[in-house]
Structure 1
């Protein structure tokens, strides 16, 4: 039983009180969700950091945050917008430094439109890479110094490799890859992308983070595990060669589904 992968969770501070004993007992991976909002980042985010530290007394597991993403992309053609996005990344890294977090989830710049037009316009493929570098290059050294890995999470990504090649292009330990099972299942069901386990297999050694959520292949459901049609046996078979490097984070809309999801995967003999 103890050789099964250990599950963690993505939780806002408002729910952490309910789950901190479960998290701390086995030093599970934890992702704090409060720092995605602009009003938090532009406000008194230090108070939330202090609250998290108080709640996590005795915690020695791997801690991360979901970085900001609302209202922007990493590959904007507008330099003024890119400057704002770079600032948001700096704010997220400041939170990581204060909190002691070593991972920050950021969103992939790739969309279904990119997939369909990447060979339709001159240099379209390279333009996404160049614009993302223009956004993230100014913060790479800070992330490296803080020992923070920014993991690129698939959102609309239809191609399993584009995001991985983008991460490789930084040639930095501060940029790696995340797979969100529900997002990949949406892309598979609604846009003809490969199945979820292919995303994991193709990410390979670059995979440092996984959002575990169930879905129906039509929308971004964030259902409890077992409530949708995601093939969990295939996913955990793909994860098996990677050991405990990827953080396996239950990211559910209803936080009440965290413990039932963990129990479901344990009953299947896939995780604990």
Structure 2
């Protein structure tokens, strides 16, 4: 079983996030919209009317969101290329998209485990999830996603401990509230799992082999940071942070265009 694409490809999706998901102006989406109603910026070809100027037009939430490839998987595999426009099951599609996004995010982390600290047990769970991503809607909605989260969470914690072990002096900031604080210096091998880093100042920090699983990086200043070997950093976290050309990112993650300005 091949691993599905784990990065969004909007050209192969039917604008599912713009239709199925609810969002609010307070969260950076311009307006309040319930789930199941197409965004007024969605074009007939499923493109976005303001894609090139989302931040300028007051839609920064869209620039942060990432489905990990779930959108095209649901569009092209789960529903076989049949658009939401041709169906009357938006509630089901929304639930399926939510499940698929969680599966793809777990797969992204398990792929990193295979690359950084291979584990046969992780490979077994990864294969199980890969098979589930090709299932029909009913099977996906019956899946025990909570159980998968628990199992994957243990595997990620074990992999993190193995990778970070060479740094015995590393700090443990798990679930710490560091919002708005200056967090500079050497943080190699440190744990920031679930940490609140909103608007924190990490400029120039060395975060190699640090675990950033679930850390809230909204408006976190990572200019000049070495994030080259951080663990479990995702594209949405990167998109939410403030970086520059001197910020070093892990392999596979893209530098947001706004970091160049």
**TM-score surpassing 0.5?**
no
TM-score by length of 2: 0.29
More helix by share: 1
Larger radius of gyration: 2
Question: Looking at both structures, which has the greater relative contact order when contacts are Cα pairs under 8 Å and sequence separation is at least 6?
Answer: 1
